[in-house]
Every structure is written in C-alpha cells, then in structure tokens.
C-alpha cells in the first residue's frame, strides 16, 4: 500500500470552522495518535490550506497529501503523519 | 529544488524565532481576538508564548473585568453606523451584542480563549505600572496569571534573537 493510502488512525472534521480552529484542533488531535500514524483532517476554511502546511512545517509533522473537491463550499482534505 | 538548496532552506527554518511575545494594550473585541488567535496558534505550533497585558488590555486579567470585552461604534469608520448615532446611549452595548452574536458561530468567547491559551502553556503577564495606575493588586488577577512585571522583563524577552514581538 502506498504511503498516501495509509489508513488514517483518526479523522478530524473542522468543516464550518474558521482559523485558528482547524490548526488548534489538528494539533490536539495529532497528540491523540501514535508517532507514525496518520490523521485525516477535513476543513472548509480556505486558509486551512496554507495554514496547515505552515503548521506541519513548524511542528515537524509530515503533510502527506492535500486535496480539495469542487463543492460549494470547497472541502479540503489533509493527511498528516505524526512524526514526533 | 536540489537537495542542497532544500537542506539550506531547512537550516534557515531551524533559525526561525520560536518565541512569540505579544503586547495587548486594549480590551475591545477587535483588539483582543487577533492576539489571542496568534497566541493559541503559536502554542499549537510548538512556540513559546508570552503575552504582556498593559493599559486597558490588563482588564483581561482582571477578575471583575475579563468577561466584559466590548466594541464601540464611535470612532470606528468601518462600523455601519454614523458616529453621531454611535454616541447614543446603548449603542456600544448593541454593537457588542451584534458582534458577539456573529463571532459565537465561529470562535470561542474571549474568556474561553484565555482559558484555552493557559491550558496550552501560554504565559499571561500583568503590567505592574498599569496595576498601580488602576489600583489593582495581585488578588484582583484571574487565576493562572503568570507574573506581574514591567518594562525590563518585557525587553528581556523582546531582545532575544529567538523571539518576535508584536504590538496589537
């Protein structure tokens, strides 16, 4: 199985929430999974795309993949691997 | 990107400031949410955070005043209300109620955000000269206030090359 298809250990739905909630909730959720496991986050805040990218870089967690659908509002999906 | 440039970028990132120092000088809704959002996000990103509450910002650490953050339509050209109307009695309360109603859908209240910040390890400091000015003592501060300090302490944080300071 490819890394990007690894089954997430936890799902986090932040749809409808604005900055900083997606980042705060992601940082809390990532502590609830084991190192090496994957967290999947869904969000509708368009700021979550650059914000979670920056958050992952700052905290040293790995943003494995990021996708968005064409819905209204757009739903962004992130897969983050806890690194430490 | 070559591996070398990638590595030098990584090294550069390693040099980034990891300590956020915020100064809160006011206790209106528009002057409090931005620093609280930055503080909680910084803490969530592994940064150390110190917030220095001074002048009206100190009301946020005042047991009696920390839930009373308001917004005034007077002197605020972005508000959909002429100043002369904003001056009328009750207009500040009305604008506050409307704004808090809107905010409620997306963000925690300010006392909730302060609580969240404390739980995340954000340090909250009361400005000692402002306390004197307002006749406040240690027992007037909300539980969890980290310290009472003055300009030298603040400068000690602010001059650290690993820190970044923002006035709000």
For the record, the structure tokens of A7 come out as: 């089954």
pLDDT in tens, chain B (168 residues): 455 555 556 555 557 889 999 999 999 999 999 999 999 999 999 999 999 999 999 999 999 877 778 888 877 777 777 888 788 888 888 888 888 888 888 889 999 999 999 999 999 999 999 999 999 999 999 999 999 999 999 999 999 999 999 998
- Pick the closest to residue B71 from B39, B106, B32 (CA basis): B32
Find out whether B120 and B43 touch, Cβ atoms under 8 Å: yes
CA distance B151 to B128: 9
Q: What is the mean pLDDT of residues A60-78?
A: 93
- Pick the closest to residue B136 from B68, B32, B27, B63 (CA basis): B63
pLDDT of residue A49 exceeding 60, the answer is yes
Which residue of B lies nearest to A51 if distances are taken between CA atoms? B41
Interface residue of A19, A24, A26 to substitute, partner B, most B CBs within 10 Å: A24
* CATH entry 1.10.10.10 includes domain B19-67+109-167: no
Q: Is B124 on the interface with A (CB under 8 A)?
A: no
Q: Is A17 on the interface with B (CB under 8 A)?
A: yes
ipTM: 0.83
Residue A40 annotated among the catalytic residues of the structure? no
Which residue of A lies nearest to B14 if distances are taken between CA atoms? A58
Q: What is the pLDDT of residue B139?
A: 94
Q: What is the pLDDT of residue B4?
A: 55
**B108 alpha-carbon distance from chain centroid:** 14
Distance from CA of B158 to the nearest CA of A (A): 21
Q: Which domains, from first to last, does chain A contain?
A: 16-81 (3.30.110.40)
Interface residue of A16, A18, A20 to substitute, partner B, most B CBs within 10 Å: A20
CB-based contact A21 B106, cutoff 8 Å: yes
Which member of A3, A18, A19, A35 is catalytic?
A19
Split at pLDDT 50, 70, 90, the class of A45 is very high
Q: What is the mean pLDDT of residues A25-51?
A: 96
pLDDT of residue A1 exceeding 60, the answer is no
CB-based contact A58 B41, cutoff 8 Å: no
Split at pLDDT 50, 70, 90, the class of A5 is low
CA distance A10 to A30: 9
Find out whether A69 and A54 touch, Cβ atoms under 8 Å: no
CA distance A39 to B84: 53
Q: The tokens 């009750």 sit on which residue?
A: B90
Q: What is the pLDDT of residue B26?
A: 92
CB-based contact A55 B44, cutoff 8 Å: yes
Other CB atoms closer than 10 Å to residue B99's CB: what's the count? 18
């Amino acid at each position: 199985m490819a890394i990007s298809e690894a089954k997430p250990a936890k799902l986090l739905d932040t749809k409808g929430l604005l900055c900083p909630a997606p980042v705060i909730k992601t940082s809390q959720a990532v502590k609830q999974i084991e190192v090496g496991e994957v967290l999947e986050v869904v969000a509708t805040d368009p700021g979550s795309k650059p914000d979670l990218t920056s958050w992952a870089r700052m905290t040293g967690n790995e943003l494995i993949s990021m996708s968005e659908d064409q819905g209204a509002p757009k739903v962004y999906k992130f897969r983050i691997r806890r690194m430490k | 990107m070559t591996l070398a440039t990638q590595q030098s970028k990584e090294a550069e990132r390693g040099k980034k400031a990891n300590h956020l120092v915020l100064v809160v000088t006011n206790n209106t809704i528009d002057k409090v949410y931005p620093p609280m959002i930055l503080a909680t996000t910084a803490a969530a990103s592994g940064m150390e955070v110190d917030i220095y509450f001074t002048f009206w910002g100190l009301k946020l650490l005042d047991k009696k005043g920390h839930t009373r953050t308001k917004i005034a339509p007077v002197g605020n050209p972005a508000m959909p209300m002429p100043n002369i109307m904003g001056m009328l009695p009750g207009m500040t309360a009305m604008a506050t109620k409307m704004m808090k109603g809107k905010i409620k859908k997306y963000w925690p209240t300010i006392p909730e955000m302060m609580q969240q910040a404390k739980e995340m390890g954000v340090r909250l400091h009361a400005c000692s000269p402002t306390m004197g000015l307002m006749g406040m003592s240690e027992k007037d501060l909300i539980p969890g206030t980290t310290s009472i300090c003055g300009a030298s302490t603040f400068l000690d944080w602010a001059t650290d090359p690993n820190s970044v300071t923002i006035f709000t």
